[in-house]
Amino acid sequence: MDSARLVREARAVRFLRKLVLALFVLFVLGAIALWLFAEPIVLALMTPTGPFTSDVDLPAPNYADPSAWSALPDREDAGDAAPADHPSGDQRTLPVDVFYIHPTTHIGSAWNAGVGDPGLNADTDRVATRLQATAFNACCAVYAPRYRQASGLVFTHPSVDGDRAADLAYQDVAAAFAHYLGTSGERPFIIAGHSQGSIHGLRLLREVIAPGKLRDRLVAAYLIGGPIPLDAIDLPVCATPEQTGCIAGWNARAPGFTPNAFELRDLPAMTPGKPGEGRQRICVNPITWTREGAAPASANAGAVFLETEPPTILPGFASAECVAGTLQIAEMGTAPRDLMSRILDRTLGAGNYHAIEVQMFWLDLRRNAQARVAAFLRARG
C-alpha cells in the first residue's frame, strides 16, 4: 500500500516538474518573440476592434468623487512621491496648482478605457502620476484626473473613429478642469501633460484657457512628448527660464532617429483650419529653458527615476539641443529599466526617448516650475 502511494507521488512530482519546465519554456519563447517582434505584436494588441460606437457606453467620471482622481492635494497619493533630498511641499498650503494630464497607460483593443478598472488605475498612478506629476509637487498642489483615455494608436494612426475616441477623452479632461475651477477660487495654475495628455492639454488651452481671463492665471504650460506645432495656439513659446503665460515642451530623440509606426502624428483635429503634417514642433530646451543653443549633459540638474527604491537620481544624465523642433540627445546615461520598460523602448524604436522624456530632466523641470511660479507671484505683487 505504502509502496503504491510512493510510486504515485513520484509520478506526480515528475509530472509537475515537466509542467513547470514546459511553462517556463513557453514563457521564455514568448518573451523572446515579444522582444524580437515587439513592434508588430504591440501594434496588434493595441489595434481597436469594431467601430468607436462600441465604447460610448463607458460611464463618464464623476469628478466630485475623489476616486475619479489619480492625485488630489488633500490626501496621500501618487502625486506626493519625491526623493528624500528633494521633498514635496505641503500640498495643502502651496500657492499654485498643477493640473496634470497623464499619458496613455491603456494597452488593449478598446477605443477608450474606462476609469473603473482598478488595475489600469494602479498602473496610471505608478507609471504616470508618480513618475511625472511629482516633478511639480515642490511648487504646486497636484490635481491629476483620471479620464476615459483613448487608445495610443488614435494618435499614431489617425482615423475618423480615432478622432471620436480622442474627443471622448478630451471631454473628460475638460469636465475635470471645470470641476477644478469650481473648487479652486482664483488660484494660479500650471497645465502639464505628457504624450496623449499633452494633446488634450493643448486643446484645453486653445478652447478654455487662452480665449478669456483664465490665461491671466496661467503660470505656464508644460506640454511634453506631444506633436505640438509652433503655431498651434495664441500663446507664446517659452523663451526664457522665468517667462510666464507661455508653453514649453519637447520630444526627445537621438540624432538621426528614424520614426516607426509608433511616432505621434500631427492630428488635424488638434489645430483646426491649419495644415496637417510637416509643421515644426515646439521645442524648449529643458536644461537652458530657451529655444536655441546646446547644453552638455554636465549641465543637466538630474534625471530622477522614482520607480526604483530608493529613487535613482542621476545628475548630468543627458545633454539637450533643439534642432528643427526636436530635442536631440547626443549624450545620455543608462536609465534603470525593467523588462516591460525595455520592451516598450524597443517598440518605440532605438533612439526614441519618449517613455522617459520627463524623468530624464525631472530635476530641471522641478526647479524651472518653481522659478516660473516665483516670477508669476512676484509680478502679481
Confidence of residue 278 (pLDDT cuts 50, 70, 90): low
Same domain assignment for residues 9 and 104:
no
Cis peptide before 310 (omega within 30 of 0): yes
CA distance 355 to 194: 9
Q: Which of 346, 181, 343 is nearest to 260 (CA)?
A: 346
User: 244: pLDDT confidence band, cut at 50, 70 and 90?
Assistant: very high
Per-residue pLDDT at 222:
98
Task: Please check whether residues 177 and 205 belong to one and the same domain.
Answer: yes
Instruction: Please name the helix (run of DSSP H) or strand (run of DSSP E) that holds residue 183, with its range, or none.
Output: helix 160-184
Q: Is residue 117 part of a domain?
A: yes
Domain assignment of residue 349, yes or no: no
Residue 354 lies in a domain: no
Q: Are residues 28 and 93 in the same domain?
A: no
pLDDT (tens digit, 9 = 90+) per residue, 151-210?
A: 999 999 889 999 999 999 999 999 999 999 999 989 999 999 999 999 999 999 999 999
Q: 94 and 204 in one domain?
A: yes
On whether residue 182 sits in a domain, the answer given is yes
Strands (E), 230-366: 246-248, 252-253, 294-295, 303-305, 312-314, 320-323, 326-328
Residue 301 forms part of a structural domain: no
Contact yes or no for 210/234 (Cβ under 8 A): yes
What gap in Å lies between CA 121 and CA 145, rounded to an integer? Answer: 11
Mean pLDDT, the chain, rounded, equals 89
Residues 4 and 113 occupy one common structural domain? no
Q: How far apart are CA 249 and CA 285, in angstroms?
A: 8
Residues 5, 56, single domain; the answer is no
Q: Do 303 and 360 form a contact (C-beta atoms < 8 A)?
A: yes
Q: Which stretch of DSSP H or E encloses residue 310?
A: none
Number of domains in the chain: 2
Confidence band of 231 (pLDDT split at 50, 70, 90): confident
Question: What kind and span of H or E run contains 311?
Answer: none
Q: What is the pLDDT of residue 344?
A: 82
CATH of the domain at 91: 3.40.50
Domain match, 142 and 262 both: yes
Between residues 60 and 55, the one the model is more confident about: 60
* Per-residue cell: 164: 471620436
- Find, among 180, 188, 215, the residue nearest to 374 by Cα: 188
117 vs 10 pLDDT, higher one: 117
The band of 28, judged by pLDDT with boundaries at 50, 70 and 90, is: very low
Categorize the per-residue pLDDT at 35 as very low, low, confident or very high, splitting at 50, 70 and 90. Answer: very low
- pLDDT number for residue 7: 58
Whether pLDDT at 55 is above 90: no
Residues 16 and 58 grouped into a single domain? no
Identify whether 322 is part of a domain. no
326: which strand partners? 323
Q: What are phi and psi of 303, to 5 degrees?
A: -80, 145
| β-pairing verdict for 326-328 and 252-253 | parallel
Q: Using the predicted structure, report yes or no on whether residue 145 has a pLDDT greater than 50.
A: yes
Of 179, 132, 143, 203, residue with least CA distance to 354: 132
Range in 62-71, 256-265, 309-318 the model is least confident about:
256-265
Q: Are residues 29 and 142 in the same domain?
A: no
Q: Write the single-letter amino acid at 374.
A: A
Asked if 122 and 234 count as a contact pair (C-beta separation under 8 A), the reply is no
What is the rounded average pLDDT of the residues 262-285?
75
In a domain, 19, yes or no: yes
CA–CA distance, 190 with 136 (Å, rounded to integer): 9
Q: What is the pLDDT of residues 213-223, one digit of tens each?
A: 999 999 999 99
Q: Which residue reads 478598446 in cell numbers?
A: 110
Q: Is the pLDDT of residue 26 over 60?
A: no
Q: How far apart are CA 342 and CA 105, in angstroms?
A: 16
Query: For the chain, what percent of residues have pLDDT higher than 70?
Result: 85
Closest CA to 102 of 75, 134, 61: 134
- The boundaries of the domain holding residue 79 are 52-282+363-380
94 and 165 share a domain?
yes
CA distance 228 to 195: 10
Cell digits for 318?
A: 543627458
> Is pLDDT at 43 greater than 50 in this prediction?
yes
Q: Rounded to whole angstroms, how far apart are CA atoms 63 and 262?
A: 32
Average pLDDT over every residue of 260-274: 72
- Residues 183 and 209 reside in one and the same domain: yes
My answer on whether 78 and 126 are in the same domain is: yes
Strand partners, 192: 100, 222
User: What phi and psi values does residue 97 have, to the nearest 5 degrees?
Assistant: -110, 155
Contact 198, 223 (CB under 8 A): yes
Q: With respect to residue 336, please indicate whether it lies within any of the assigned structural domains.
A: no
